[in-house]
Amino acid sequence: MAAVKNTNEVSDLLVSYEKIKWGRKIVALDFTIKSKTAAADVEAQIGAGYDLQSTLRNVSFGDDRVDKVQAFRWAVDAQNTGQCERFLALLPEWIEKPKDKEKPIAYFTKTINAELENAIGSKKTQQEVSQKEREDRINFLRQQAATIERANPPPDAGR
Q: Biggest alpha carbon distance in the chain? A: 86
pTM of the model: 0.43
How far is the CA of 1 from the CAs of 9, 10, 71, 112, in angstroms? 13, 15, 43, 45
Cross-strand partners of 14: 34
Per residue of the chain (159 residues), what is the pLDDT tens digit?
A: 788 888 888 888 888 888 888 888 888 888 888 777 655 555 555 566 567 777 777 777 677 777 777 777 877 777 777 777 787 787 787 777 766 667 777 777 888 888 888 877 776 666 676 777 777 777 777 787 777 777 776 666 555
Q: Using one digit for the tens of pLDDT, what is the confidence trace for 46-56?
A: 566 567 777 77
Q: If DSSP codes are grouped into helix, strand and coil, which group holds residue 152?
A: coil
- The pLDDT > 90 percentage for the chain reads 0
Give the integer Cα–Cα distance in Å for 84 and 77. 9
Q: If DSSP codes are grouped into helix, strand and coil, which group holds residue 100?
A: coil
Q: If DSSP codes are grouped into helix, strand and coil, which group holds residue 63?
A: coil
Give the integer Cα–Cα distance in Å for 79 and 39. 14
